Amino acid sequence: MKRNRLSDVQFDEGTSLWKDARRRLFQNKMAVFGLCMFLLVTLLSFVGPSLLPYDHETIDLPYQARPPLAEKHPFVCPNHDYVHLYSADENCYVCNTPLEPAATPPARHLMGTDKLGRDLCAAVLRGGRVSLAVGFMATAVSLVIGVIWGAVAGYLGGRVDQILMRIVDVLYALPFLIFVVLLMVMFGRNFMLLFFAIGFVEWLTMSRIVRAQVMALKNQEFVEAAVALGYGRMRIIFRHLLPNLLGPVIIYTTLTVPAVMLLESVLSFLGLGVQAPDTSWGVLIKQGAEGMEDFPWLLLFPAAFFSITLFSLNFIGDGLRDALDPKSSKD
């Protein structure tokens, strides 16, 4: 009987957890669609303003409150450089000279203009840059605080766990809007303060999720082996436990970004968020809602960009959840 040597045996190459998760993610059509739409919105927000003939602060008087792609050409007086909003049948209000059409009419406004004649497309793209920055920066703040807080509470347990989680419960009970108003009164309106205020609230849920995952993992064999080898508590938490929590943390992070962006929009709508000369989708939606009946495009375009971004991030979050945790998939 002929025996096969071990060197002659062929083994199938296995796949890692992350390779398998990536394969399942890209098989999810809604997740891929959400990823493409999110990348498109992000690219437009950060690159688009530099490609437009106007910025979000330029005032184009002949085009005040004009709908998208309006073809209203200004008229000028041949005796001076005054620009008029009237028709060619009227005369200059300074020297009573008949007006003439402008030689080079200005470029069209793709999304129209606001009541001051500012380009809405430039404002929407600029506002997207601010809203995305707030979403990711505040999420990063909540991620760092929540992961460390929950991991320490879950692994140490006992009295430390009780004290840390009671602090979380107390913070949960505080009204968020009152907290933001107090911060604004004490420190003034600051863009960085908005990151801190939103991140200070969003990390609470993250800490609870991480704590529950750590409590489920700390009795596993690999943790007991690390304890037997004499590793310190902080090394076990950051070198052994946290790498095994990346799946749930990534999933919740992708779902936190749209929640933070929505929260920033609510604050800006109430006048507690981004302030002029900066703008955001929340500020633009507030301004559009005030003139929705007469100028509907002022609300339609920022709301559309904001909704597309929220839906895209939620599709990505659902896809990551199904890819990293197949048991939670509904299929």
Segments forming the whole domain that contains residue 97 = 72-107
Does 67 reside within a domain? no
* Residues 109, 111, 113: CA angle, nearest 5 degrees: 65
Does 136 reside within a domain? yes
Both 86 and 191 in one domain: the answer is no
Name, in order, each residue with C-beta under 8 angstroms of 154's C-beta and a sequence gap of 6 or more.
161, 210, 211, 212, 213, 214, 215, 218
Both 77 and 46 in one domain: the answer is no
d(CA 303, CA 285): 6
Does 28 reside within a domain? yes
Both 180 and 252 in one domain: the answer is yes
Rounded (10°) angle between helices 120-156 and 297-324: 30
Both 213 and 323 in one domain: the answer is yes
| CATH number of the domain encompassing residue 231 | 1.10.3720.10
Token code pair at residue 70:
């309006």
Does 2 reside within a domain? no
Predicted structure pTM score: 0.73
Does 62 reside within a domain? no
Both 48 and 190 in one domain: the answer is yes
SS (H, E, C) 164-221: HHHHHHHHHHCCHHHHHHHHHHHHCCCHHHHHHHHHHHHHHHHHHHHHHHHHHHCCCH
Name, in order, each residue with C-beta under 8 angstroms of 248's C-beta and a sequence gap of 6 or more.
209, 210, 213, 324, 325
What does each of the 331 residues of the chain score in pLDDT, given as a tens digit?
A: 455 554 554 544 556 667 777 888 888 889 899 999 999 999 998 888 888 777 777 776 666 777 776 655 566 667 765 555 444 456 666 677 776 666 555 556 778 788 877 888 888 888 888 888 888 888 888 888 899 999 999 888 889 989 999 998 888 887 777 777 777 677 666 667 777 777 777 888 889 988 988 888 888 888 888 888 888 888 888 888 888 887 788 878 887 888 888 888 777 777 777 776 778 888 888 888 888 888 888 889 988 998 899 889 888 888 887 777 655 545 4
d(CA 327, CA 331): 9
Token code pair at residue 208:
């609870």
Tally the domains of the chain: 2
